[in-house]
Homo-oligomer: A and B are copies of this chain.
Amino acid sequence: MKKAMSTMKDVAREAGVALGTVSRVVNGQQVGEEYRVKVEAAIEKLGYQVNPYARGLKTNKTNIIAVILPSMEHPYFSSLAQQINLSLTRRDYQMMLFLTDSHHNREDECVRMVRQNKVDGIIGLTYNAVHLSDDIPFISIDRYFGPNVPCVASDNYGGGRLAAERLAALGCKKVLSLWTGSATPGEADKRVDGFITGCNLLGIPCDDLRYVDVDGADVFRDHFQKHLIGGKLIYDGIFCNTDLLAIQVRELLAELGIRVPEDVQIIGFDGIRRFDNGKFYCTTIIQPVDKIAETCVDMLLREDRSQVPSLLCLPVSYGFGGTTKE
């Protein structure tokens, strides 16, 4: 039933050469021309393919990278998966995908599986610190764990400042910084830090609101209602730490009868695009997902791993999405 795959031994016999010679041909080492031809013919004839398990057993090297992501539901994550896959493929690496949030606290389990699987490296966007950097090369995305765990992220701080600058340039006189997220600290927290610093530098008064572990923008309703004067908000600019929050804030403002961008301008963060038309959901600071992916792969596969930086921030850019005055 199961057509037995032919092995190097078969190829050697077929070609009338020694086993080692076949191995050398397969691995592109120096081999006499006549031998190489014979071996290649035999390989072709038998449809030989190397057995990665036998090879992995010897070399302790597979061409597999584990990628650990929270889920596939957020466009940022699926986009990351896509780009990492692309970068990996270009270098003839394969991607083993682990999703953590399907079950609660699956991260540890994932890490266990990954360790057991003898992958060549790990690219992970994880919340808990994974202690295995001495074991398997690990690149963290968006979360800094310490000097010995390289972390790749957007220039979140710079993005926050950029948002402040744009809002200022667009004429804002008093702004609000909104943040929702998890208690776990991450690089993305620097977004509001950057924004607030930017506002200070520009001399623009800025209020700062943060809520942990809430979903939706409803928690801000109260604040908005208390800061209405004659039906108008006292802010003319709002920075949200994610596009999703920005969208929800816009909805909320609409309910309160406040126009965007006429009354108040909003800038989000992420650069998520709508599925239906490819446009931004809102004016936003765009994360360079492709660069992040490529950088992770590059750092992971780099020969000289002693030189990798512990934190690498990639430049973000401004994207117009209708919630600012162009």
Contacts and interface: CB of A to CB of B under 8 A. Distances in A.
A244 B95 contact: no
A306 to B, nearest CB: 11
Nearest to A117: B52
Tell me if A's interface is mostly helix, strand, loop or mixed: mixed
Assembly stoichiometry (copies)? 2
B79 A72 contact: yes
A30 interface: no
Contact of A78 (B50, B78, B86, B94): B78
A266 to B, nearest CB: 13
Contacts of A52: 53, 116-118
Interface residues of A, number: 48
Nearest to A92: B113
A8 to B, nearest CB: 13
A102 B116 contact: no
Contacts of A89: 99, 102-103, 106
Interface of A: 3, 49-54, 56-57, 62, 64, 71-75, 78-79, 81-82, 85-86, 89, 94-99, 102-103, 106, 113, 115-118, 134-135, 244, 247-248, 272, 274-277, 281
